[in-house]
């Protein structure tokens, strides 16, 4: 059985280069990973006032997270950090207290930007947040993609063979990581029940 991987795309732009990267990842993923976007666009701004009764869109979002075996975050970098929409989605997924949908769920972080350092700073901020919500993260290899014109087309095809090969190897490493984390979590739960 392949692992179901939820993909959270930090950009809400219809012309997002990070959406193109997410599409490329779907095409390049090994057979044991099935990537599917979990939309974040329609989530309202999180407030603790919602904790007693989540709106339907937030319940659907949490259900999609919980149905996923792992999560890939594809983030742009806004003002040397992650976009507010992505942080808002993480807040929704980790609430209400005691129902953190990211806990013990393996994750990986990537992103693309035209800048030379790509999304390095945003990814570091995101990793800090993921540590707090107890999501085990693939720490190596890191995937900072320097976007150049024509690198990825609107259908997710990667024109540069070296970039395509790197993304395939990154996804292969994530597949191994997901298997190890999932096995460790399941063995730990079995021990507690036993």
DSSP the chain: -PEEEEEEE----TT-HHHHHHHHHHHH--TTEEEEE---TTPPPP-GGGTTS--HHHHHHHHHHHH-SEEEEE---BTTB--HHHHHHHHHHT-STT--TTTT--EEEEEEESSTTTTHHHHHHHHHHHHHTT--B--SS-EEEE--TTSB-TT--BS-HHHHHHHHHHHHHHHHHHHHHHHHHHHHHHHHH-
Question: With 90 as the cut, is the pLDDT of residue 109 above it?
Answer: yes
Q: Provide the whole-model pTM.
A: 0.95
Q: What is the mean pLDDT of residues 134-155?
A: 97
pLDDT band at 168 (very low <50, low <70, confident <90, very high): very high
Confidence check: pLDDT of 132 > 60: yes
pLDDT band, very low/low/confident/very high, at 125 (cuts 50, 70, 90) = very high
């Amino acid at each position: 059985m392949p692992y179901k991987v939820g993909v959270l795309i930090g950009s809400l732009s219809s012309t997002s280069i990070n959406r193109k990267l997410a599409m490329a990842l779907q095409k390049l993923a090994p057979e044991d990973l099935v990537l599917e976007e979990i939309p974040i666009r329609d989530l309202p701004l999180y407030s603790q006032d919602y904790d007693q009764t989540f709106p339907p869109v937030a319940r659907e979002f949490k259900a999609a997270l919980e149905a996923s075996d792992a999560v890939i975050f594809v983030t742009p970098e806004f003002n040397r950090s992650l976009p507010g929409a992505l942080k808002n989605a993480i807040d929704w997924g980790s609430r209400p207290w005691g129902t953190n949908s990211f806990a013990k769920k393996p994750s990986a972080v990537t992103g693309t930007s035209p800048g030379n350092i790509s999304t390095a700073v945003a990814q570091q901020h995101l990793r800090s947040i993921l540590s707090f919500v107890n999501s085990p993260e693939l720490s190596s290899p890191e995937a900072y993609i320097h976007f150049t014109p024509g690198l990825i087309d609107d259908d997710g095809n990667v024109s540069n063979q070296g970039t395509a090969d790197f993304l395939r190897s990154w996804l292969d490493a994530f597949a191994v990581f997901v298997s190890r984390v999932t096995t460790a979590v399941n063995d730990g739960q079995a021990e507690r029940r036993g």
